[in-house]
Chains A and B, each alone.
Chain A
Amino acid sequence: MIEANVIPVFVNRGSFIELSGRERAQALFDKGTWRELVGPFDRVVSPWLPMQGVAPQFDDGCIVIKGKISGKPAVAISLEGAFQGGSIGEVSGAKMVAALDLATIDSRNGKPTAAILLLETGGVRLQEANLGLAAIAEVIASILELRQYAPVITVIAGTVGCFGGMALAAGVSSYVVMTREARLGLNGPEVIEQESGKDEFDASDRALIWSIHGGEQRVEMGLADDLVEDSLHGVGSAVQRFVRAGKPTQHRSEQVELYRRRIVALDASSQIDPLALREQWKSLNSKERTR
């Protein structure tokens, strides 16, 4: 058809970012193989939000879907960035931990079950403060259990990004997939500006933000594994590839000596130029045996 040729490519490619948290998780599975667990009809809600005048959501912003990816057992856990910034509360955290632990049990029983974490989150939900922080500690613990048997694949598509305690969850994952629109870091720009001042980090400087936290930078530095385009195909095929690859022989967060040496070698006397550091680590990555 003639019309098809004049429609720009991005219209047809099917954006992943434009999907809801639920649609993102669904899109990863082989057709007809999946089912959502503890879904909105089960109405398991946060008890703490209504006490503070905040409307809860029937899935607490955490969608868990179990099924098959490339014919292999898998569970996807997706945080809905549009609900309370994708933050982790008691219930959403417990859903994550339970799903990871059940995948571990299946894996130990001879049915390796990969986990895909779709992370759009600022970290702890402050209305549930200490139960959110405790949940994140448990999420990290459960990822570390599961990744001994099956890969844990974090996908950060955007546009919320992955910040706060959940950045540690990405850090201990087997693989991290990002788009150019995604960001990954412990502290977001606003938090740094608020805590350390505008001289330390100007949160309105978009170029600065993307040069530090952006997907392209993280992948090029070796702090994430795959940069994909914002499309169903881009994200989906990367996830399939890592599910098939299985767990890596060594995880990034185990490469302590390698990163410790790099920090020793850092010149901290002034702010670090992100591009220069990226080039430096990139050339080290090709020399040293990084994964």
Chain B
Amino acid sequence: MEESQLERENAMSEHIGLRGKAWFQALTGQNEARKEDPSSVLTADAIIGDERALFLCVIPNRDSRFPCVRDGQVGLEEGYTLAHRIREALNADKDKPKSQKRPVIAIIDVKSQAYGRREETAGLFLAAAASSDAYASARMAGHPVISFVVGQAFSGGFLTHGYQANRILALDDAGVTIHAMHKEAAARITRRSVEDLERLGQQIPPMSYNVQDYAKLGLLYQLLHVESLLEPSRSEVDEAKNAIIAAIVDVRKGPADLSVRRKSPAAQKSRKAGIAARALMEHQWKNV
């Protein structure tokens, strides 16, 4: 890797959560948690296009009473607060026709899930499941659910916050990473050096830490270019808004499930084996 790119990535990793906050503020005009919520979970209703949408974002809270979430990880409070706010919107819109159910927009810059003993003891898996459930329930009820990745989207953090969306958008920048595990841990567990892991990523797209390689998997709806992740210009914010609005329109035209992730042209190439396994399962299922 180029020295400058590595430096840039390191600088970016210190910005975890700041990018989420910056974009939340740019899109909603707000930058604080609701009074009853933990400071790490920003949620607000704001206008996008000509309708009201619910925006959600998890940010670092240096003073969290849970030490293992202080760098912006998703923990117990974060999971249940996200679930609570999404279900609130679900209930508020439950009698509205699908075309009027408010979009749910997740702004994502999460390092990971919380790696803590307190969290495991109190059942972090259920907090994560509850949030995932709430996002998916909103999607299934007809709310367009859009994820906007502006920084990191790692493993359990992403499963909890954003991976149930109808459409995923991401900024096209070296500081944006979507992955199952951060490099150092993945290298340790697979008994490889970080350099080997990076080399493998160039040959094997699902292993890559580069968001452009992630786009090749067919899971992403759109990549958006910006000059600055931390300080988006007004035209960049407008561009992002337009992209989100276009995604909302697209969602309302199609099914509420995640089939678009395997039907996209890129997925037809990169997920061939999985698609073939599914086709065979469909064929054999009928004959039993």
Q: Which residues of A contact B271 (CB under 8 A)?
A: 90, 94, 131
Q: Which residues of B contact A136 (CB under 8 A)?
A: 159
Q: Which residues of A contact B257 (CB under 8 A)?
A: 141, 145
Q: Which residues of B contact A192 (CB under 8 A)?
A: 115-117, 120
CB B37 to nearest CB in A, in angstroms, measures: 10
Contact A141 B156 (CB under 8 A): no
From A166, which residue of chain B is reached at the shortest CB distance?
A: B125
Contact A98 B204 (CB under 8 A): no
Contact B133 A254 (CB under 8 A): yes
B40 at the interface (CB under 8 A from A): no
Q: Which residues of B contact A102 (CB under 8 A)?
A: 281-282, 285
Contact B125 A263 (CB under 8 A): no
Contact A130 B214 (CB under 8 A): yes
- The CA-CA distance from A253 to B127 in the complex, in Å, is 8
Q: Which residues of A contact B152 (CB under 8 A)?
A: none
- The CA-CA distance from A66 to B219 in the complex, in Å, is 29
B4 at the interface (CB under 8 A from A): no
Q: Which residues of A114-150 are within 8 A (CB) of B?
A: 124, 126-138, 140-141, 144-145
A99 at the interface (CB under 8 A from B): yes
Contact A132 B180 (CB under 8 A): yes
Q: Which of A134, A170, A255 has the most CB of B within 10 A?
A: A134
Q: Which residues of A contact B15 (CB under 8 A)?
A: none
- The CA-CA distance from A200 to B163 in the complex, in Å, is 28
Contact B180 A130 (CB under 8 A): yes
Contact B125 A266 (CB under 8 A): no
Q: Which residues of A contact B43 (CB under 8 A)?
A: none
Q: A98-B282, A130-B179 are in contact. Are A44 and B276 (CB under 8 A)?
A: yes
CB A193 to nearest CB in B, in angstroms, measures: 9
Q: Which residues of A contact B136 (CB under 8 A)?
A: 140-141, 144
Q: Is the interface of B mostly helix, strand, loop or mixed?
A: helix
Q: Which residues of A contact B285 (CB under 8 A)?
A: 37, 66, 99, 102
- The CA-CA distance from A168 to B79 in the complex, in Å, is 12
B274 at the interface (CB under 8 A from A): yes
CB B82 to nearest CB in A, in angstroms, measures: 9
- The CA-CA distance from A208 to B200 in the complex, in Å, is 37
Q: Which residues of B contact A255 (CB under 8 A)?
A: 130
Q: Which residues of B105-126 are within 8 A (CB) of A?
A: 112-113, 115-126
Q: Which residues of A contact B189 (CB under 8 A)?
A: 126
Q: Which residues of B contact A144 (CB under 8 A)?
A: 133, 136-137, 140
Interface string of B178-195 (1 = CB under 8 A from A): 111100011011100000
CB A124 to nearest CB in B, in angstroms, measures: 4
B241 at the interface (CB under 8 A from A): no
Interface string of A226-257 (1 = CB under 8 A from B): 00000000000000000000000001111111
Contact A272 B127 (CB under 8 A): no
CB A170 to nearest CB in B, in angstroms, measures: 7
B261 at the interface (CB under 8 A from A): yes
Q: Which residues of B203-236 are within 8 A (CB) of A?
A: 203-208, 214, 217, 219
Contact B115 A137 (CB under 8 A): no
CB A192 to nearest CB in B, in angstroms, measures: 5
Interface string of B140-166 (1 = CB under 8 A from A): 100000000000000110111001100
- The CA-CA distance from A257 to B285 in the complex, in Å, is 39
Q: Which residues of B contact A272 (CB under 8 A)?
A: 117-118, 121-122
Q: Which residues of A contact B158 (CB under 8 A)?
A: 133, 137
Contact A137 B84 (CB under 8 A): no
Q: A127-B207, A129-B180 are in contact. Are A171 and B125 (CB under 8 A)?
A: yes
B248 at the interface (CB under 8 A from A): no
CB A284 to nearest CB in B, in angstroms, measures: 13
From B279, which residue of chain A is reached at the shortest CB distance?
A: A98
Q: Which residues of B contact A67 (CB under 8 A)?
A: 288
A109 at the interface (CB under 8 A from B): no
* Selected A-B contacts with CB under 8 Å, 10 pairs: A94-B271, A130-B178, A141-B258, A171-B128, A172-B129, A172-B133, A192-B117, A213-B120, A257-B84, A268-B65
